[in-house]
Chains A and B, each alone.
Chain A
Amino acid sequence: MVAPAFTLMFLLLLGPLLGVIALSFTDYQLGSPSFSWIGLANYRDMFGDRVFWLSLRNTLTYVAIVVPAAVALGLAVALLIESGSSLRSWYRTIYFLPVMATLIAMSIVWEFMLHPQFGLINGLLQGVGLEGFSWLQDRRTALYALCVIGIWQALGFNMVLFLAGLVSIPRQLYDAAEIDGAHGAWARFRLVTWPMLGPTTVFVVVITGIRSFQVFDTVHVLTKGGPSKSSEVLIHTMYVEGFEFFRSGYGAALTVVFLVFVLLLTLVKSALTNRGVHYT
């Protein structure tokens, strides 16, 4: 009964996972008849490569911008929606739309909105007397433009998770806080909402982090990592090396670096969870 599932699991998940690690110690290239074990040479190349460091730095910048912004905005929107009763489901629907919409299609829309001459954004900026940018073609702005799209897309997902967290806070706790003298929105938030949202927040931060590390679609369609590598990110570098240059071994080494970061985030999550952010 478990045989098909676990055969496929070994074949398509666990095997390839080990495979990618093994591959990172080889010089295998797609199509070449043989390969040899070259130890840490791929990693040595990688650490000596300016593009890798750029890519890593850009990815970390992307994560460092998107995670706090998408989490804070998601929380803020959830709190605002939950603080009143009118139009709740309308707002929820609107904010959730980007999660549903195919990101590639919406990236193309964003690209047009960010168009230097005919784009909506620059048009609006000119309307208020500001100079626009060639957002995606300018090395100063390309990565940040991608961040904005990333936040735009992740916000609604986080909002929904926070809404679920908010709903599960027992109402009697707010009553107790009121009786105990916690007046005002801030005191209630500090005494009840924020601590009770602890587990949700940890989860939202980690999942947004992991997703941000995986950023690829927007980069590939909009900038291809450019201009001059200013928006190059890990998975895109891995894609280029592994599937455009077919340097499978080197691509595998990049994958391993990516895996390490994802693993770190997961560890952070379980560490925080075990430290008792979960209550009974």
Chain B
Amino acid sequence: MTPRHRTVVWSVARHLLLLCGAAFILLPFLWMISTASKPQTEIFSKSIHFIPHSFALWDNLATAFGKANLWRFLLNGVVVTASIFVLQVLIALPAAYALAKLRFAGREVLFALVLFCILIPPQATAIPVFLLFHQIGILDSYAALIVPFTISAFGIFLMRQFFKTVPDDLIEAARMDGISEFGIVWRVMLPTAIPALTAFGIFSVVAHWNDYFWPLIVLNSEHLRTPPLGVAAFRNEEAGTNYGPLMAAAIVIIAPLVVAFLLAQRRFIEGITLTGIK
């Protein structure tokens, strides 16, 4: 074999292998779309076909929206993820700035605490936080969904690392201009941190939009359900019968993030793999 032949053979093999893997990855997505587009009779037929004979996606979507309050779930998802992110930024940014740029006693200890807190998995604190919320009576509320995540040790760490790279001169110039320390955080540091903040925002939104464990624990009321909880409840109610609308509901739940991802892939991959810099 000449080198040229070898490259051609290798290139074909590469695509073959990657396409096989891609088929495995895409199979659930394709099957979901396929099933959501089929009428009941086709879903419960023994023959496998991806393209529906009669197209029933709109019917299934209509049924899904009719049976489950999907709009409400999506709205809840937006409210919860947005509140979490905004509060995380409000709380993390000043702390990150202080840890990066201010000198005060105990700074190193506090930073070590931050590093330690990054390692605490959310499941570990679930029982005590649940008891605490039970005690103060905020279970089954937006607050219960939002408050535990207002503190992001990882967010503090990330922004602190970023602020470290901002030149001291910039801050000193701001102080010379008479801007207060809090003013520096919001008017000087925040604008420089937009790229890092975007990445962290994607990381945070994706994590909490998809979170199932915590909403499952603290919620009872239907009207507060987040998207994952909503689709899971829909499935329990429709167990084993109405697969068309169920798949349509699944599409609705994953659509916002998947579409956003397809539109801004690079940013999303950056954001999600942020944990890779630890």
Contact = CB atoms under 8 A, between A and B. Distances in A.
Interface of A: 1-2, 4-6, 8-9, 12-17, 19-20, 23, 30, 73, 77, 80-81, 83-84, 86-87, 89, 91-106, 108-113, 118, 120, 123-124, 127, 152, 155-157, 160-161, 164, 203, 207, 210, 214, 216-217, 220-221, 235, 238-239, 242-243, 248, 251-252, 255, 258-259, 262-263, 266
A177 B29 CA distance: 42
Given A9-B153, A105-B250, A14 B123 contact: no
Contacts of B98: 1-2
Given A5-B92, A105-B228, A221-B235, A258 B97 contact: no
B273 interface: yes
Contacts of A14: 113, 117
Contact of A242 (B10, B95, B127, B254): B127
Interface in B111-158: 113-114, 117, 119-121, 123-132, 134, 147-148, 150-151, 153, 156
A87 B11 CA distance: 11
Q: Tell me whether chain A's interface is mostly helix, strand or loop, or mixed.
A: helix
Contacts of B209: 102
Contacts of B45: 118
Contacts of B254: 100-102, 105-106
A101 to B, nearest CB: 4
A2 B104 CA distance: 11
Nearest to B130: A243
A93 B265 CA distance: 7
B46 interface: yes
B104 to A, nearest CB: 8
Contact of A87 (B15, B29, B97, B185): B15
Interface of B: 10-11, 14-15, 17-18, 21-22, 24-29, 31-32, 35, 43-46, 48, 91-92, 94-95, 97-99, 102, 110, 113-114, 117, 119-121, 123-132, 134, 147-148, 150-151, 153, 156, 181-182, 185, 206, 209-210, 212-213, 216-217, 227-229, 231-232, 235, 243, 246-247, 249-250, 253-254, 257-258, 261-262, 265, 268-269, 272-273, 275-276, 278
Contacts of B228: 102-105, 217
B31 A120 contact: yes
Contacts of A124: 48
B121 A108 contact: no
Given A1-B97, A105-B250, A105-B253, A164 B128 contact: no
B117 A13 contact: yes
Contact of A1 (B17, B95, B131, B268): B95
A13 B153 contact: yes
Contact of A91 (B18, B27, B35, B124): B18
Residue of A108, A160, A235 with most chain B CB atoms under a 10 A cut-off: A108
A251 B40 CA distance: 42
Contact of B127 (A13, A20, A152): A20
Given A13-B153, A104-B232, A207 B275 contact: yes
Contacts of A104: 210, 212, 228-229, 231-232, 253
A73 B213 CA distance: 27
Nearest to A269: B278
Given A106-B254, A118-B243, A120-B31, 16 more contacts: A2-B95, A5-B92, A5-B95, A9-B151, A13-B151, A16-B124, A30-B134, A83-B14, A86-B11, A87-B18, A96-B268, A97-B29, A100-B268, A108-B246, A239-B217, A258-B124
A173 to B, nearest CB: 21
